[in-house]
Amino acid sequence: MASAAVAENRPMTPEEKKVIFASSLGTVFEWYDFYLYGSLAAIIAKQFFSGLDAGSAFIFALLAFAAGFIVRPFGAIFFGRLGDMIGRKYTFLVTILIMGLSTFIVGILPTYASIGVAAPVILIALRLLQGLALGGEYGGAATYVAEHSPHGKRGAYTAWIQTTATLGLFLSLMVILGTRTLIGEAAFGDWGWRIPFLVSIFLLAISVWIRLSMNESPAFQKMKAEGKTSKAPLTESFGQWKNLKIVILALIGLTAGQAVVWYSGQFYALFFLTQALKVDASTANILVAISLLIGTPFFIVFGSLSDKIGRKPIIMAGCLLAALTYFPVFEALTKAANPDLHAAQQKNKVVVTADPNECSFQFNPTGTVKFTSSCDIAKQVLAGASVSYENAVAAPGTAASIKVGETVIPGYSSKGLPADEAKKQDAAFKKGVADALKAAGYPAKADPAKMDKFMIVVILSYLVLLVTMVYGPIAAMLVEMFPTRIRYTSMSLPYHIGNGWFGGLLPTTAFAIVAQTGNMYNGLWYPIIIAAATFVIGTLFIKETKDVDIYAKD
């Protein structure tokens, strides 16, 4: 562009400020709606999946959470096509209406106790609608802002959109925490959890009002005036190899790694604190919220820096640091948040000795599987107590046992036992394990007086810093990889496959790995492997885009 040098040096215009503010604020509210469910997964498990045992109910609640992520690529395809054909503005006006109304309905939805199995079915349907809407939202907002941005400042301008996911999570945590504090934990668990969902109707009204006042993007207006809009954006995006190969590279060389770093640094860290480290929910929410507040400005820092040194080196550095440091960082988090648990793990390891042929996969989402072998019973007891353990092989036919330090608790098999006898054996076994764990120093929950809260915030802030490295520059980079006529469609799909599938399924996948292996750190292998793969592929095959003229790509 002839005016590129001037554009790089001039200040942001009032119109550009309005575009960024309006797009970002609406997207914050949309993320707020989406993340309410994840933040309240434990309560939702009790309200809508109460027909299952506690462990399966929580994993099933996470699966329902994941359902919203699974359909995001389909939303990207549907709304991306509309956005490339009829415009950016009206497409992501529709997406926020779907998101806001779906969230409000969750707030008035009867529970499992009231309407039975219909409750979780409707809940999952609403989550699917939310996922479809979000699939169309992000690509629209990022494309809209980028197409309003001057050459040389796209990283800085689109970085404001990148803050919205974190700010939406922060807002959801703050509303939840405020409601909990005002009405008390008991009332919140009973009915107060609905309030944050109901509040979304006011946020929806503000968002719609803001978006109605916005103009269409100049790049799209110019293309439409020239009659160059795509008649078949899906065919152009995915039916032609020259574009499809860029979509595939954007997925495996950028967004997959970015996604797992994002979800590890924010959602998985929160779940790890509450589920594995037994920190109470309010304390965990406050600590995560503080780290989000500290880390969020770095989205802008790294977005702006990417205009100067490039998008690729910053994103790749974030993926590499994550892959190299996650294990020591999460162990340090354990030591800071629950030092008694960390000390007990070092001094008195828990080992399950069992015949591998007796051990089943420990995932029971329907609640219909009855574990009767001594191995499965032993592992279920430890999983229920959130105890990390190692596995040892016993001779075939040998009953499983649990060793806590030097204390061995013999297991039992309930196969063929009368119900009363099985119940009696179960109670005795659980008591024996609980007594041994207590004697070995394993705490029932984290002791707030012993927490190093400063160090927890430092660790969580580091994890958020990695998030800002991979996420701050990525919107600009994705926009710059594709031409205007198919940009909305082309950039949305790899983003939402990466974030919807690789990232959104991270908590469920990681906890399933932990449940199967027994080691609470093994879930980290999932983000580490994907982040490392993205680093290698991205470094070798992704081209830098910061100097691309997005208008010249048409």
Q: Are residues 217 and 158 in the same domain?
A: yes
* Domain of 390, in residue numbers: 348-439
Distances (CA, A) of 30 to 177, 194, 507: 19, 17, 21
> What is the DSSP annotation of 205-230?
HHHHHHHHTPPPPHHHHHHHHTT---
Q: Is residue 1 part of a domain?
A: no
- Classify residue 241: in a domain, yes or no: yes
Closest to 142 (Cα-Cα) out of 233, 24, 249: 24
Report in angstroms the alpha-carbon separations of 188 from 28, 119, 185, 316: 24, 19, 5, 42
User: CA-CA distance, 178 to 176, in Å (whole number)?
Assistant: 6
Say how many domains are in the chain.
2
Same-domain check for residues 164 and 213: yes
Is there a single domain that holds both residue 419 and residue 519? no
Same domain, 281 and 353: no
Q: Specify if 91 maps to a domain.
A: yes
Look up residue 276 and give its two tokens.
């594995």
Statement: residue 408 has pLDDT above 50: yes
Res. 368: pLDDT tops 60: no
Residues 490, 403 share a domain? no
Confidence of residue 375 (pLDDT cuts 50, 70, 90): confident
pLDDT for position 6: 40
pLDDT in tens, 464-506: 999 999 999 998 999 888 887 777 778 778 888 888 788 877 8
- Does 363 lie in the same domain as 329? no
Helix (H, G, I), strand (E, B) or coil at 549: coil
> Collapsing DSSP states into helix, strand and coil, what is residue 410?
strand
- Choosing from 439, 465, 486, the residue where a domain stops is 439
Q: Are residues 422 and 455 in the same domain?
A: no
Give the model confidence (pLDDT) of 243-269 as tens digits: 888 889 999 999 999 999 998 998 899
Asked whether residue 451 falls in the same domain as residue 431, the answer is no
CATH code, 310: 1.20.1250.20
Q: What rounded mean pLDDT belongs to the chain?
A: 83
Task: Please check whether residues 67 and 180 belong to one and the same domain.
Answer: yes
The residue type at 17: K
- Who contacts 550 (Cβ-Cβ below 8 Å, separation ≥6)? 146, 147, 154, 219, 479, 480, 484, 487
Where is the domain boundary, 409, 439, 469?
A: 439
383 shares a domain with 466: no
The stretch 200-223 carries a mean pLDDT of 75
For 30-68, the pLDDT digits (tens) are 678 667 876 787 788 788 876 666 666 666 776 676 677
Give 366's pLDDT tier (boundaries 50, 70, 90): very low
Whether 234 maps to a domain, the answer reads yes
What does residue 296 show for φ and ψ, rounded to 5 degrees? -55, -40
Among candidate residues 382, 409, 439, the one where a domain is terminated: 439
